[in-house]
Structure 1
Amino acid sequence: MIVRSFKMAIFVSLAITRWTQGQDAGAVVSALMKKHASFDGNLPRTSACYVLEIDNTSPLECGSQCLTRPDVCYGILFNRERETCKLIKCNPAFVFTDEKFDTGIWELYWKENGPGYCKAGWVRHEEHCYFFNKTGETWMNSKKMCEDNGGSLVSIRSPTENSWIVDTFLPASCDRSKCCDYWIGGNDLDVEGTFTWTSDNSTMSFVNWHPGEPNDLNNEDCVLLCTNKNWDDRTCSEVWQFICKAPVM
């Protein structure tokens, strides 16, 4: 694996060196990656979104570094004033923070194709793509919308994945009545008390219930994720935002 990665790095570097002679660096990077004119003026919220930060560099050198790390780097943010760049694995257009930055200084280049590609609007984490829908739907409608887009309501298989989803998509604090709960794929619609994931009907081996949950109050059969990382069973007809999950393409 190390030898293969080293050979890939040599190949990419040589190809770029030969092709870029006499070319404008910005045009070259734009040809290798897609430049986004706007990305909502937001940086990724968590440090987990950044693979590496490089000082005293150029868009071309930074793009080359990204292309030699296909498994972990999906784009770059380049600061023209400071001549620094960030290698990133989360799409800033869909991962929000209150930290603003000037799009006149920062440039975003994004790899649109290749192994492990996620559709526009989806964010990659390991071998899956995730989509955060901000419009409220019932659990059943949320399930259908995820499936219509090639995925399913998110199944959460580990504490690490649970934390990543909360840290990446969910606001740190909010009015509970407005935005704290999000539909995930857990439910006990088939057998009361036996919670399964809608993606494959498997029993939920990892759970992170809020103390006292699930309690099936008022026939609650569908599972919500909250910003405190705990889960709660709720009535499936309630309307909440939701998170989809799909394998990488």
Structure 2
Amino acid sequence: MSLLPIFLLLGILMIASVQGYVSYHVSDVYGNKRYHVSKEFENFDLEKMNNRCKQLGGYLLQPDDTQEGYFAVKYARRTGWGPFFTGITDKDSEGKFYYYNDNKPAKSITWKWFQPDNWYNEDCVEVWIDGYNDRHCGIRGRYICEVPA
């Protein structure tokens, strides 16, 4: 029996771990986009996670309209993978939410009840099964990327 397949697999695994490989759940297509949710829970960092989304050819979720925003909520509910962090933040202008990737004002966010509340300075936003919630950046969680289909 040849050991070559085993060595090839080990080499691939070593390269993947060195490059910070992240695995994703991939959604159905919605509109002209596909959504990737990280499988691993990590401390959320807007810049780092947005750069990972860029490696996939996209960026952290930034719903363009109410329908896309609600799609993400239904996706979280349907899959049970939520909550997951988005590219929505107010870290540079408290109470004025914008998309981290392009600094445009965030539109049509369907907030959970009593949100956003900025509880102890929450600057990131995550999708739950019943709406959007402001949350502390840096805590452990999953994130969602949107990528052209």
TM-score computed with the length of structure 1 as normaliser: 0.45
What amino acid is aligned across from residue 159 of structure 1 in structure 2? Answer: T
Note if contact 1:166-1:227 (Cα within 8 Å) is conserved in structure 2: yes
Which of 161, 168, 184 aligns to 2:86? It is 184
Note the C-alpha offset of 1:201.
1.1
Which of 136, 150, 160 aligns to 2:57? It is 150
Note if contact 1:123-1:131 (Cα within 8 Å) is conserved in structure 2: no
- Rounded to whole Å, the distance in 2 between the matches of 1:149 and 1:219 is 30
Residue 76 of structure 2 is aligned to residue 170 of structure 1: yes
Which of 139, 145, 148 aligns to 1:244? It is 145
Note the C-alpha offset of 1:131.
1.0
Query: Matched residue pairs, number?
Result: 123
Note the C-alpha offset of 1:139.
3.4
Larger Rg over CA atoms: 1
Q: Which whole-Å deviations, capped at 9, do the CAs of 1:82-127 have from their partners, x for residues lacking one?
A: xxxxxxxxxxxx5xxxxxxxxxxxxxxxxxxxxxxxxxx5642212
- When the two chains are superposed, the root-mean-square deviation of aligned CA atoms in Å is 2.2
Note the C-alpha offset of 1:170.
2.1
- Rounded to whole Å, the distance in 1 between the matches of 2:28 and 2:78 is 19
What amino acid is aligned across from residue 155 of structure 1 in structure 2? Answer: Q
Note if contact 2:116-2:133 (Cα within 8 Å) is conserved in structure 1: yes
- Rounded to whole Å, the distance in 2 between the matches of 1:133 and 1:189 is 23
Note if contact 1:131-1:245 (Cα within 8 Å) is conserved in structure 2: yes
1:86-165 to structure 2, matched below 5 A, reads 121=26, 123-137=28-42, 138-140=44-46, 141-165=48-72
Note the C-alpha offset of 1:158.
2.4
Gaps of 5+ in 1: 1-93, 95-120
Note the C-alpha offset of 1:142.
2.3
- Rounded to whole Å, the distance in 2 between the matches of 1:225 and 1:203 is 17
Which of 120, 134, 143 aligns to 1:233? It is 134
What amino acid is aligned across from residue 153 of structure 1 in structure 2? Answer: L
Q: Which whole-Å deviations, capped at 9, do the CAs of 1:164-216 have from their partners, x for residues lacking one?
A: 2233x424496xxxx54210110011211111012321101211112221121
- Rounded to whole Å, the distance in 1 between the matches of 2:32 and 2:77 is 24
Note the C-alpha offset of 1:151.
1.1
- SS of equivalent residue, structure 1 residue 170: helix
Note if contact 1:139-1:183 (Cα within 8 Å) is conserved in structure 2: no
Note the C-alpha offset of 1:236.
0.3
- Rounded to whole Å, the distance in 1 between the matches of 2:82 and 2:36 is 17
Which of 184, 199, 211 aligns to 2:113? It is 211
Residues 1:208 and 1:166: Cα distance change in structure 2 (over 3 Å): closer
